[in-house]
């Protein structure tokens, strides 16, 4: 069974995911064998703070991990519709309103500390939605040595070794 999902566009192909990891590990062979879509609530927010020179507005994109509640800022991205198998999508555990509260707090913290401003910024939600980011599971192997598994961010190419 497949599902229609909004995903962050411009992802890495299977070959690109393999070569990203291979470039760091001479002598190892890598095989990407599965793509998993991870859910986030995305909020595009505008923070307005008062300064000595008038109001200063900053727009900020936040991704809230819908399974752990952890938040990060993100570069602008485009979205695309994708059909994905049910087993390739992780479900959400967080309600959208809770995610928005987390994003507000995270963004306000970032703005105040970077601006060094002891003020409450006004927040406006410009855009919001549930988006999915693709991740590749890549297996690494070397002759007679135990293999390991790497998670490759299908958008940025960043990677992390998996324990499993």
Point out which residues bind other proteins (CB under 8 A).
Answer: 21, 24-26, 28, 36, 38, 49-53, 56-61, 65, 67-70, 72-76, 87, 90, 106, 108-120, 135, 137, 140, 145-146, 148, 150-151, 153, 158-164
Nearer to other proteins, 82 or 132 (CB): 132
Nearer to other proteins, 2 or 25 (CB): 25
Question: Hey, what long-range contacts does 85-91 have (CB within 8 A, 24 or more apart)?
Answer: 85/1, 85/2, 85/3, 86/1, 86/2, 86/3, 88/34, 88/35, 88/36, 88/37, 89/3, 89/5, 89/36, 89/37, 89/39, 89/132, 90/36, 90/37, 90/38, 90/39, 91/39
Nearer to other proteins, 15 or 118 (CB): 118
- Return d(Cα 77, Cα 134) in angstroms, integer: 13
* Smallest separation, CB 36 to other proteins (Å): 6
Question: Any idea what the Cα angle at residue 81 is, between residues 89 and 41, rounded to 5°?
Answer: 60
What are the beta bridge partners of residue 137? 34, 151
Nearer to other proteins, 81 or 116 (CB): 116
* Smallest separation, CB 110 to other proteins (Å): 5
Nearer to other proteins, 1 or 52 (CB): 52
Question: Taking the C-alpha atoms of 137, 148, 24 and 156 in order, what is their torsion angle to the nearest 10 degrees?
Answer: 20
* Smallest separation, CB 76 to other proteins (Å): 6
* Smallest separation, CB 58 to other proteins (Å): 5
* Smallest separation, CB 83 to other proteins (Å): 20
């Amino acid at each position: 069974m497949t599902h229609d999902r909004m995903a962050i566009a411009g992802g890495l192909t299977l070959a690109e995911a393999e070569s990203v990891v291979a470039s760091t590990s001479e002598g190892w062979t890598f095989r990407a064998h599965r793509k998993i879509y991870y859910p986030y609530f995305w909020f595009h927010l505008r923070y307005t703070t008062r300064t000595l020179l008038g109001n200063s507005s900053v727009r900020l994109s936040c991704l809230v991990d819908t399974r752990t509640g952890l938040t990060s800022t993100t570069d602008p991205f485009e979205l695309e519709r994708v059909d994905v198998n049910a087993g390739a999508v992780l479900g959400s555990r967080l309600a959208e309103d809770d995610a928005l509260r987390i994003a507000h707090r995270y963004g306000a913290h970032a703005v105040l500390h970077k601006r060094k401003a002891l003020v409450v910024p006004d927040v406006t939600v410009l855009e919001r939605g549930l988006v999915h980011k693709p991740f590749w599971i890549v297996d690494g192997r070397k002759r007679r040595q135990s293999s390991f598994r790497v998670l490759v961010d299908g958008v940025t190419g960043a990677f992390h070794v998996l324990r499993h």
